[in-house]
Amino acid sequence: MSFVPVLHAEWIKIRTLRSLLGALAAVFAVTVAFSAVTAAQADRSDPLFSVFFGVSLGQVAAVVFGALAVSGEYRGGALRLTLASVPDRTRWFAAKSVAVALPVLAVALPTGLVTLAVGRGPAGLTWAEGLRGVAGCALYLTLMALLAAGLAAVLRSGVGTLGLLIPFLLTVSFVVGDLDSGAADYLPDRAGQLALHSASEGPLGPWAGLAVSALWAAAALGAGAWCVRRRDA
């Protein structure tokens, strides 16, 4: 089976599962809602992050989406049925990764635009800053979903993936950042969110930070693909 039919099959799985559609809706709702609250009390020292603060919480929904989209294959022998139709495991995992990335990107782009529309006025952003925030929002959320997808393929568990990533994103990363800002600059969440800050004080710029997050996501997907190829379904 060629790549396009495999991708189509994976998309059908995603759009027919309420939990995944709910996670996508939460990406939009949580990001916009929390951004609207913080934008109304804009921090003049970093107005861009005031507008896009909700991404810090919206990323949890993106992680949930990526983790559940992959871990669902390991419940009830679903992966065995999938691989019976698509024996090429690398092709299947590539299609699964694309099927994760595209919906998140499609939701994250309007999420960023609505967030900008809601918060730009109170924060006093320029359009250049705002558009960078929109692009950073969309790319960052997509990369976090892919990071979760790759890790779910390694752990073969949605619970394990979320139990590792969510505390890390909400707690551990901030603690490490307070203790050692040099190393923390290269963590996937802190590096990627540099695109959502008006200025960067560390060694990375906004696009370099997103590149670091992309490397983390690529490493997780590479490890996931290796596990899919080597392990029994």
Q: Is pLDDT above 80 for 40? A: no
The token pair that represents 84 in the structure block: 């019976």
Task: List, for residues 104-139, the tens digit of each pLDDT value.
Answer: 999 999 999 999 988 776 666 778 888 999 999 999
pTM: 0.93
Q: Is pLDDT above 60 for 200? A: yes
Planar angle of CA 56, 33, 205, nearest 5 degrees: 35
Task: List, for residues 44-102, the tens digit of each pLDDT value.
Answer: 678 888 889 999 999 999 999 999 999 999 887 788 888 888 889 999 999 999 999 99
Selection from 189, 207, 205, 190 nearest residue 136 by Cα:
207
Task: List, for residues 170-183, the tens digit of each pLDDT value.
Answer: 887 666 655 555 77
Which H/E stretch holds residue 42? none
Question: pLDDT above 70 covers what percent of the chain?
Answer: 92
Planar angle of CA 200, 204, 208, nearest 5 degrees: 115
Amino acid 180: pLDDT: 57
Q: How is the chain split into domains, by residue range?
A: 3-159+166-230
CA distance 96 to 19: 17
Amino acid 178: pLDDT: 58
Amino acid 75: pLDDT: 85
Mean pLDDT of the chain: 89
